[in-house]
Amino acid sequence: MSTKLLEGKKGIIFGALDNRSIAWKVAEKAHEHGAQFTLTNTAMALRMGTLNELGEQTNSPIIAADATDMDELTALYQQSMEALGGKIDFVLHSIGMSPNVRKKRAYTDLNYAWLQKTMDISALSFHKVMQAGYQLDAFNEWASVLGLSYIAAQRTFPGYGDMADAKSTLESIARSFGYYLGKEKKVRVNTISQSPTITSAGSGIKGFDGFFNYAEKLSPLGNADADSCADYCVVMFSDLSRMVTMQNLFHDGGFSSTGVSDVIMDLVMGDQG
Ligand SMILES: NC(=O)c1ccc[n+]([C@@H]2O[C@H](COP(=O)([O-])OP(=O)(O)OC[C@H]3O[C@@H](n4cnc5c(N)ncnc54)[C@H](O)[C@@H]3O)[C@@H](O)[C@H]2O)c1
């Protein structure tokens, strides 16, 4: 039996920006596991040029698309199916951006035009990615669609700002669209809720180092890094996880189930010890 979990599978990977991006690691691992895929990002991100390197490394065509634009998404599916020679078996949505977070606007003083941008880019684009594929009938049966989330969707992390609301919506969209894609096309949809990870998007969050260090000290296994997230994505794209759908899957070294750890207790009690 082949140990290549994605042999013969065709996919689309959104969101590789540079070699720290979670999507970059997913592309490397998916390639190792025998998948063929197209890589996509905004025209602006492509102008940075680093994606060409990944395209060459994984032998993948690169197609520009703004994930908030239905026409560009439709063209992306059409071009991907043509380049790959068939329908799509997996999609990674690894996209997030908040102008409020980027420009350090407090949650109590949000710019609402920017909030709409946050929601459109970080959450509604997940719906658009699925709707474009659904309407084109672009998915093979048992295809797997994944989005990336963060635990601030369920619990408050000051500094994560309006991204928390976007992630809650993202997780809800996975359940809602997962129903229709499951029933009508046997396609599954999940989100992976990942540990704080050092990437361009991650380090843009105010207090990111605090989130990262706190999670590292609380999680029994420590923080999950981008490489291990990529391993999990490969499993979720593979046939080994074919009955898993409409779930938010924590990939966080146990953080989400831990109330307190000895290390945190020692830190809190330090003054009295
Ligand atoms: N880094 C973390 O700590 C962390 C933790 C949990 C979840 N996540 C999530 O993982 C995903 C990937 O983030 P990352 O940490 O790899 O950072 P990243 O900055 O490398 O990736 C974000 C990507 O979104 C793309 N993007 C922005 N606007 C877009 C648009 N309109 N259309 C298409 N693409 C667009 C960017 O070009 C970039 O490639 C995001 O959803 C992020 O919220 C990250």
The pLDDT tens digits for 220-238 are 999 999 999 999 999 999 9
**Cα separations (Å) of 7 from 82, 239, 246?**
19, 11, 25
Report the C-alpha dihedral over residues 70, 72, 74, 77, rounded to 10 degrees. Answer: -140
The bridge status of strand 36-41 relative to strand 10-14 is parallel
* Coil, helix or strand at residue 53: helix
* pLDDT confidence of residue 200: 79
DSSP labels, 244-255 = --SEEEEESTTG
Rounded to the nearest angstrom, the distance between the alpha carbon of 240 and the centre of ligand 1 is 26
10-59 confidence digits (pLDDT tens): 999 999 999 999 999 999 999 999 999 999 999 999 998 799 999 999 99
User: In a mutational test of the pocket of ligand 1, which residue from 17, 47, 95 has the highest number of ligand atoms less than 8 Å from its CB?
Assistant: 95
Cβ of residue 17 lying under 6 Å from some atom of ligand 1: yes
Give alpha helix (H) positions in 85-203: 99-102, 112-119, 125-136, 163-185, 200-203
123-163 confidence digits (pLDDT tens): 999 999 999 999 999 999 999 999 999 999 999 999 899 99
DSSP lists the bridge partners of residue 86 as none
Percent above pLDDT 70 for the chain: 98
**Cα separations (Å) of 3 from 33, 34, 42, 121, 209?**
8, 10, 34, 36, 37
Q: How much is the pTM?
A: 0.97
User: Could you give the angle at the alpha carbon of 84 between the alpha carbons of 81 and 12, nearest 5°?
Assistant: 70
* pLDDT confidence of residue 270: 84
Rounded to the nearest angstrom, the distance between the alpha carbon of 273 and the centre of ligand 1 is 42
Cβ of residue 200 lying under 6 Å from some atom of ligand 1: yes
- Domains of the chain listed by start with CATH number: 10-272 (3.40.50.720)
Average pLDDT, rounded, for the chain = 96
Cβ of residue 39 lying under 6 Å from some atom of ligand 1: no
Q: Which atom of ligand 1 is nearest to the CA of 66?
A: 32
Cβ of residue 192 lying under 6 Å from some atom of ligand 1: no
